[in-house]
Structure 1
Amino acid sequence: MDASDGCPETRRMIVITAPTGQIGGRLLEILLDETRTRGEKLRVIVRDPGKLPDAVRTRVDVVAGSHSDAEVVDRAFAGADAVFWLVPSNTQAPSLDAMYSGFTRAAAEAFTTHGVGHVVGVSALGRGTPVAGRAGHVTASLAMDDLIASTSVAYRALANPTFFDNLLWQVASIRDDGVFTGTLATDRKAPTAATRDIAAAAAELLLDRTWTGSGEVPVLGPEDLSPTDLARIMSEVLGRPIRYERQTLDESRAELAGHGMGDAIVQGYADMMRAKEDGLDDGVPRTPRTASPTTFREWCEQVLKPAVRA
């Protein structure tokens, strides 16, 4: 037997997927700091290794390719006892099942083949709510969670609401027109979180690995906010009026299609946003354990304001 496939009790290697994205990139930074004295090894799966900073490439094992590829995950999971799993966006996927569960099937088989002990995945709030079965991307993400859990690996799904960081897609409109858009009612309060807090929650789980079974870890942000609240806080931080314009679902569909997204993905977003309006993200109470620390005002000061000025 190859030494990399040795006894699970002695292996200490974490594999990180999507290490150049907002969540995976921040997670990699945290783990590089935390594993200096822990005896942990880090491996990343990345399509283009050139996107990794030079200082990172010298400290991690790099497997080039897509983590949907059976041969790639087979190489990457050999000798690993923990995996961070994130499915990247695919605007041209033929279906939501293909985008989430289809992308994950090869990895699910490799978890078992290589005896991976723990997996932490990025997923969504909504399980157990009346609208969970008709929530587009969220419904497909929850099905992916079930697929991973069916392998009997210890699994934790990070159950997330909408991200603050999604507003970065609208930086030009916020900067040039003082406007951001969405489909929620102006006074509809909902949980919202920073991607860096999601990365921190993933790091805590990956470094612990005493947990067993499958379950969810909600990351809810520190408070529920409405689009009106977001506009007020952005206005105060940016020092200029920012207003919210509510779109109809049809208007949102047309805008997404105009950006070149395929029909299945566009419909998935429309179904998800309708479900959010109908209470998809309201099923988990905020407690000290489910709240995450970064406030929207802090995020605007530290992330949005520099992006707008740039």
Structure 2
Amino acid sequence: MIVITTPTGQIGHQVLDSVIDSGEAIRVIARDPSRLSQRVREHVEVFQGSHNDFNVLTEAFAGADSVLWLVPPNPRVENTRDYYVEFTRPACQAIKRHGVKRVVGVSSMGREFGRNAGLLSAAFEMDGLLESSGVSYRSLRMPYFLENLLLQLKTIKNQGMLLMPNTGERKLVTCATRDIATVAAKLLLDKSWSGQDSVPVFGPDSLSPHEMAQVMSEVLGWSIRFQQVSLADYKATLTQFGTVAWAQDYMDMVHAQNEGIYDMDWQQAQPAGTSFRQWCEEVLKPVILA
């Protein structure tokens, strides 16, 4: 029995698509089951509610072998670390109650960074809490999500600009969410692993924002220019969508990225998966042209 949280989310729905025809019994926890496709509703057992609700988790985790765990982003929180911990704590209780064997968690690269990394530090707190439950755990370590760039479709298409608060010359390790989903699905279907470890997931190249803009230009066929947004201006924009505390946590993450939080994991692992150029050709370009 596999339980998938956030089955309509960016990563969760791709994991669900990968395992739904595996022959394994699948359960999902969804706030709004109507967002699930008819095919999904016909093939999986649906538990309605939030996956930070102990009562919902108690029902959904009964008899479960493996769980995909993601904490959904929430820009309205006042303390991101507390939010991640309090969201995950009921899961740890339900894991212990039902003897769940394996959990795959979506976290971040850079756990050994040793300094405040804002939103990323909150994910590391989640890792520690799940590990303290004693469950066999695999923390998926990811860098910058390429899909974040899709938030700039209009700017890229209409203004020929790539806007980021990151330093223009600082190389940034990236990954595509489809690669995260592929790794997560394999782990959920694999009943042989145990213990606690991390699994890095990232693409084969490391590019600066200037280099990203150049690749975009070549793929799209028109000039794309990178422009760094000042940290103060970017934070001001973020506060339009969330709390000041959340915006600061986001900026602390950007600071950590500029200081090389992903470098150690990048140097020690063997990159694989979707390259930046491949992602631009297969994901970005079709969306922009559409």
Q: Normalising to structure 1: TM-score of the pair?
A: 0.91
Alignment partners' CA distance in 1, 2:83 and 2:215:
35
In structure 1, how many angstroms separate the alpha carbons of the residues matched to 2:286 and 2:228? 25
Rounded to whole Å, the distance in 2 between the matches of 1:292 and 1:92 is: 35
Residue 294 (structure 1) aligns with: 274
* One-letter amino acid of the counterpart of residue 213, structure 1: G
Shift of 1:299: 1.0
Q: Contact 2:176/2:202 (CA < 8 Å) preserved in 1? A: no
Which amino acid is 2:55 matched to? E
Aligned position for 1:93: 77
Q: Residue 104 of structure 2 contacts residue 139 of structure 2 at CA under 8 Å; is this kept in 1?
A: yes
Give yes or no for contact 2:161–2:225 (8 Å, CA) kept in 1: yes
How far is the alpha carbon of 1:286 from its aligned partner?
4.9
How many residues were matched structurally?
A: 290
Equivalent in the alignment of 2:14? 26
Distance 1:150 1:224 in 2: 33
Contact 1:193 1:292 in 2 (8 A): no
Question: Which residue of 2 is the match for residue 274 of structure 1?
Answer: 255
Taking the aligned partners of 1:277 and 1:284, their CA distance within structure 2 comes to: 15
Deviations 1:89-123 (A, max 9, x none): 11101211232111111111101001000000000
Residues in 2 aligned to 1:110 and 1:215: alpha-carbon distance in whole angstroms: 21
Picking from 43, 62, 68, the partner of 1:59 is 43
Q: In the alignment, is the contact (CA less than 8 A) between 1:16 and 1:45 conserved in 2?
A: yes
Residue number in structure 1 paired with 2:156: 174
- Give runs of aligned pairs for residues 52-201 of structure 1, distance below 5 A: 52-129=36-113, 132-201=114-183
Partner of 1:15: 3
- Does the alignment pair 1:240 with 2:222? yes
For residues 115 and 90 of structure 2, what CA distance do their matches in structure 1 show? 25
Amino acid at match of 1:251: D
Contact 2:131 2:137 in 1 (8 A): yes
Shift in Å, 1:21: 1.2
Alignment pair present for 1:252 and 2:234: yes
1:306 to 273, 276, 286: 286
Q: Distance in 2 between matches of 1:266 and 1:215?
A: 30
Percent of pairs with identical residues: 46
Which amino acid in structure 1 is aligned with residue 252 of structure 2? D
SS of the residue aligned with 2:20? Answer: helix
Q: In the TM superposition, what is the alpha-carbon distance from 1:292 to its structure 2 partner? A: 2.7
Moved over 3 A (4+): none
CA deviations on 1:130-188 (whole Å, 9 max, x unpaired) are xx431001111101100000000000110100011100111111121111211222121
Is the CA contact 1:217–1:290 (under 8 Å) kept in the aligned structure 2? no
**How much has 1:285 moved relative to structure 2?**
3.7
- Output the CA distance in 1 between the equivalents of 2:7 and 2:83: 19
Using the alignment, how far apart are the partners of 1:86 and 1:128 within structure 2?
21
The separation in 2 between residues aligned to 1:211 and 1:264, in whole angstroms, is 38
Give the distance between the partners of 2:205 and 2:267, measured in 1 at CA: 8
- Report the TM-score, using the length of structure 2 for normalisation: 0.97
Aligned letter for 2:112?
Answer: G
Could you tell me which runs of 5 or more consecutive residues in structure 1 were left unpaired when the two chains were aligned: 1-12
- Partners of 2:59 and 2:212 in 1: how far apart? 44
- AA aligned to 2:119 is H
Q: Which runs of 5+ in 2 are unaligned?
A: none
**Structure 2 counterpart of 1:275, one-letter code:** A
Would the aligned equivalents of 1:219 and 1:290 in 2 still touch at CA under 8 Å? no
